[in-house]
A and B are shown apart, each in its own frame.
Chain A
Amino acid sequence: MVKELIKGNYAIAQAALNAGCECYFGYPITPQTEIGEYLSLKMPAAGLAYVSAESEVAAINMVLGACSTGARAMTTSSSCAVSLMQETLSYAASDELPVVLVNVMRAGPGLGSIYPAQGDYYQSVYGGGNGDYRMVVFAPSNVQECIELTYKTFYVAHKYRTPVILLADGLLGQMMEPAEFTEYPYPPVDNSSWALSGANGREGRKICSYGPDEQKHIQHVKDLFEKYKLISEREVMFEEFMTDDAEFLLVGFGSLTRNLKAAVKSLRNKGIKAGMFRPITLFPFPEKRLFELAGQCREVMTVEMNMGQMYTDVRLAVNGKTKVSLFNPRPAGEWLSVEEITAAVEKSMEKVYAGI
């Protein structure tokens, strides 16, 4: 396979096709519009369904409908428009449907701006829909991962029959980088036991999130959380960079972690034993490994382009084992520079060694 210079958005679109996406429903919004643009060229020509929906609410509900027949369906959007989809995500979790949603984040709250940001951590990980449910969330950091994690998003959604979010950001969506379209590596998932494929010759089925029977409903929610437990045991992904002897750990997610790695290298050159830990799955959060690493560190610093969202999960994971700090000088716009991050660590290290 040859590498090609490709935009993150196009990489996600082509990867979805490689993963067997049969239906796309979407509504344009910066900074992810290229995904729909690309698929609108490719899908009709290949006999696949491409629908420009009349709104984001319609798009996500079309995905819900398509998924109920067992089809591989996807929508893509950005921050404020993903807010409109929250009701359906809650339904998809309860209906146990493999909804695939790509969120290429921009700045919020509200309409916000088209600058890249990481403000949808809470929305993705904790959800904006009602009731007890979780969503699996993958956060790529480069264009190659946009491809590989799109594959994984489809597989995990169908394997566990649960909505999955690929959480990218405006920088990743708009940038180009050499990447390679590796083959889709996962086996097909059999959905013949539940998909609404037409009841001819068998008993009818229904997919419904409403249950008037109290005990059945309680059991249903408990079963969902058994499934999430299983996903937490099996599907956690993270990346470690120079953590072996690290005394100072930087934690971040998404494309910002490229800058974190460069900061670690720069700090190492100055004799500071820094390392980086990057959750790739934001849910399930790699809490066990982070807890272990916290044991060897003087400080764990969360670095985010938001007002401190993953910070919550980092503190829960570290659970008081060592000092946890937050470096988040701005919630959107220009990504934190390597120099800014390095300076913040040096300042914090001085305090740690002075015992403050």
Chain B
Amino acid sequence: MEENFIFAGFGGQGVLLAGKILANAFMLEGKNVTWYPCYGAEMRGGTVNCEIVVSNSEVSAVHKKETDFAIVLNQLSFDKFISRVKAGGTIIANSSLVKTLKPRSDIKYVFAPITEMAQKLGEIKTANIISLGVLAAACHQLTSESLQKALEFVLPAHRKHLLPLNLEALKLGVESLAAV
């Protein structure tokens, strides 16, 4: 059984790192997982995405046409990836930058004002971590505990002082969905 996740947004929003933390969370749970980035010859402000596949056996295709979850942090990514969500799948969108429209009726929508939440927290760069929290609340496969472990695991020693802020961001994300 394989499950697919796509993280997408502007370069600089931290979607590759969010995907890396998600992949580490699955690895620490003992699952097979792959992370595959996709970006053109672009810099900050261009679009970027990564794809995570988690599996109980060896991961087959690293890059798939359809996905169970799409986490999109800007409008461009919403427009691009909504067609790749499987019927019955979920799109999580950053409603600070994405219109809350529902062009398909066969998928689930989660809208959360991720950028605004990050600004309120005092650090816009935590938007990617907040989005992971929202995902944890929307995805049964994933617990916020395993994401916390992954965060601790991924942060290098000289960045450990940022852990409390990021754990707070994760918590905000999880709770935002409960509030909806």
Contacts and interface: CB of A to CB of B under 8 A. Distances in A.
B36 A175 contact: yes
Given A175-B34, A176-B35, A178-B27, A258 B60 contact: yes
B23 interface: yes
A174 B63 contact: no
A259 B58 CA distance: 11
Interface in A140-176: 142, 171, 174-176
B36 A5 contact: no
B24 to A, nearest CB: 5
B61 A177 contact: no
A261 B63 CA distance: 15
A262 B20 CA distance: 24
A338 B24 contact: no
Interface of A: 3, 5, 114, 142, 171, 174-178, 255, 258-259, 261-262, 265, 334-335, 337-339
A51 B148 CA distance: 40
A178 B30 CA distance: 10
Nearest to A141: B58
A150 to B, nearest CB: 19
11 contacts: A5-B20, A5-B33, A171-B62, A175-B35, A175-B36, A175-B37, A176-B20, A176-B34, A178-B27, A178-B33, A261-B58
A233 B23 CA distance: 41
B61 A262 contact: yes
Interface size class of B (residues with CB under 8 A): 10 to 19
A123 B101 CA distance: 51
B37 A174 contact: yes
A258 B61 contact: yes
Contacts of B60: 258-259, 261-262, 265, 338
Contacts of A334: 63
Contact of A338 (B36, B37, B61): B61
A337 B33 CA distance: 18
B32 interface: yes
For B32, B58, B62, the residue with the greatest tally of chain A CB atoms inside 10 Å of its CB is B62
A-B pairs, 3 with minimum CB distance: A262-B60, A176-B35, A175-B36
A337 B65 contact: yes
A259 B61 contact: yes
B32 A255 contact: no
